Amino acid sequence: MFDERTLPKFNTAAVEISKEEGLLLYKDMVLGRLFEDKCAEMYYRGKMFGFVHLYNGQEAVATGIIKALRAKGDYVCSTYRDHVHALSSGVPPREVMAELFGKATGCSKGRGGSMHMFSAEHGLLGGYAFVAEGIPVATGAAFQTKYRRDALGDETADGVTTCFFGDGATNNGQFFECLNMAALWKLPIIYVVENNMWAIGMAHDRATSQPEIYKKASVFGMPGVEVDGMDVLAVRAAAMAAIARARAGEGPTLIEALTYRFRGHSLADPDELRSTAEKEFWEKKDPIKQFAAYLLERNLTEQKELAQIDGEVKALIEDGVQFAETSPEPEPKELYRFVFADD
């Protein structure tokens, strides 16, 4: 299946980005990759518990979409593979790592763990453990923006919601119901399908009657875009166009990013179902290596500058681990706190 769909071509030579923008995108992807590598280390050392789903290989999707949003006023809704979405949204690595350790200093106060990252401050609407569970939540967030602007006359309400989910979620009822409503009401939302070709152990093209997910958008009368999810600039360009449509009141967009996870479904997955040839095919398209080469070829940076960024990110992650290890556990007496909103 891995070579049956040709990755969409994108003329990166035509893209104009500044050095500052390029290094920001590079640093964000490296942060995502190295953070997840550290998570694997900590998990196998018994510092994390439960299921942990890593994002290695898909960094261009999170960075390309989220870094095109406003830091304040826009929303991100994630899945159970949510650590990197949280980081790209601006949640400090300390808070994400502490949450993974189940500590009170975590972004969800130690109550969410790997699959339930949340930060009101950073517009992160949460990670959701059930497949497609976040789609209605994100649609509701987009509706409140639309309602505040159109019904309440709040001209400052021009936020955009982005909703991430995997290819497996597009066979669920929430996907069809919510896209239908979003199109009818012209909601300011972007539905982002991170099509990594596998829904746990089910190959995508065996599970759906229309493997090209972006084409499903036509049923709802909304634009559907297929993009190379291993090319951060291609993802960013698609995101910026969709964001502009949403802010202008033109409604939702469905983006299908063709990507690949370099690890198993979770850290408990031995990853025996995918062939070696398939993995090698996608590893050659590593989004971080491709973008580093792009920056170097266009003289936007030098190798020593990229190495310096790598070092800064490693130090940031080590600081996060130390912070998590020394942070307090949640108090048992606060077991029921946050079940309901505080007065």
pLDDT in tens, 32-67: 999 999 999 999 999 998 899 999 999 999 999 999
Can you read off the two tokens belonging to residue 342?
């505080």
Q: Which residue has the tokens 């003289």?
A: 299
Class of domain 16-323 as given by CATH:
alpha beta
Q: Are strands 198-199 and 202-203 parallel, antiparallel or unpaired?
A: antiparallel
What is residue 3's predicted lDDT score, i.e. its pLDDT?
47
What is residue 12's predicted lDDT score, i.e. its pLDDT?
59
- How many angstroms separate the CA atoms of 19 and 59, rounded? 19
Q: Which residue has the tokens 């940031």?
A: 316
291 within 8 A of 306, measured Cβ to Cβ: no
Q: Is the model's pLDDT at 104 over the cut of 50?
A: yes
Give the mean pLDDT of the chain. Answer: 94
What is residue 36's predicted lDDT score, i.e. its pLDDT?
98
- How many angstroms separate the CA atoms of 52 and 48, rounded? 8
Sequence-separated contacts (24+) of 8-16 with Cβ below 8 Å = 8/226, 8/227, 8/228, 8/234, 8/258, 9/228, 10/227, 10/228, 10/231, 10/233, 10/234, 10/237, 12/231, 12/233, 12/234, 12/294, 15/233, 15/237
Provide, rounded to the nearest whole percent, the portion of the chain with pLDDT above 70: 95
Which DSSP category does 340 fall into? S
pLDDT digits (tens, 9 = 90+) for 172-183: 999 999 999 999
Can you read off the two tokens belonging to residue 212?
């090209």
Torsion angle of the four alpha carbons 154, 140, 227, 128, in this order, in degrees rounded to the nearest 10: 140
Torsion angle of the four alpha carbons 240, 53, 134, 249, in this order, in degrees rounded to the nearest 10: 0
195 within 8 A of 224, measured Cβ to Cβ: no
Is 0.75 topped by the overall pTM? yes
Is the Cα dihedral 80, 136, 31, 275 positive or negative? positive
Can you read off the two tokens belonging to residue 329?
């556990």
Neighbours of 285 (CB within 10 A): 18
136 within 8 A of 165, measured Cβ to Cβ: no
85 within 8 A of 100, measured Cβ to Cβ: no
pLDDT digits (tens, 9 = 90+) for 210-246: 999 999 999 999 999 999 999 999 999 999 999 999 9
Which DSSP category does 56 fall into? T
What is residue 9's predicted lDDT score, i.e. its pLDDT?
54
Residues in the chain: 343
Torsion angle of the four alpha carbons 273, 7, 67, 215, in this order, in degrees rounded to the nearest 10: -90
Residues in Cβ contact with 226 at an 8 Å cutoff, skipping those fewer than 6 apart: 8, 212, 214, 256, 258
Tell me the average pLDDT across 202-208. 91
Q: Kindly state the helix (H) or strand (E) to which residue 256 belongs, with its residue range.
A: strand 253-258
Q: Which residue has the tokens 């939702």?
A: 252
Q: Are strands 253-258 and 189-195 parallel, antiparallel or unpaired?
A: parallel
Which residues is 257 bridged to in the sheet?
194, 227
Q: Which residue has the tokens 């099509």?
A: 195
Is the Cα dihedral 26, 27, 30, 32 positive or negative? negative
Q: Kindly state the helix (H) or strand (E) to which residue 2 belongs, with its residue range.
A: none
Tell me the average pLDDT across 11-22. 79
- How many angstroms separate the CA atoms of 129 and 120, rounded? 19
What is residue 340's predicted lDDT score, i.e. its pLDDT?
87
pLDDT digits (tens, 9 = 90+) for 297-326: 999 999 999 999 999 999 999 999 999 999
Helices 19-44 and 93-100: angle between axes, nearest 10 degrees = 20
